[in-house]
Amino acid sequence: MTSNNQTFPKKHQSGLIFIGYVLAIFGSIIGVVIGYTLKSKQAELPDGNRAYKYSKNDRKHGQQIATIAVVMFCIGWALKILS
């Protein structure tokens, strides 16, 4: 599918996925944002339909990144409260 000279889904986002996992491990809110973006970002095509910007595999990584980031963020807060 093509829209405004862009092909959807975009090619594999290995750099963004790597950064997302690194930030997620440290419980960063930015990791949540990267994961959510990879998982849910869509674009409107000229015919009015919507298509995901990232491949199915990249969206799977996005879900995992967001989940890890939220869990690590909660663990970090729990440790901070308990200490």
Residue pLDDT tens, the chain, 83 long:
444 555 667 778 899 999 999 999 998 999 999 999 999 999 988 888 999 999 999 999 999 999 999 999 999 999 999 98
Scanning 1-83, the segments in alpha helix (DSSP H) are 14-25, 29-40, 56-82
Q: What is the pLDDT at residue 30?
A: 95
Which 3 state secondary structure label does DSSP give 44? strand
- Packing angle between helix 29-40 and helix 56-82, nearest 10 degrees? 160
Listed by start position, the domains of the chain span 2-82
Give the global pTM.
Answer: 0.83
Q: What DSSP character marks residue 12?
A: P
Q: What is the pLDDT at residue 55?
A: 93
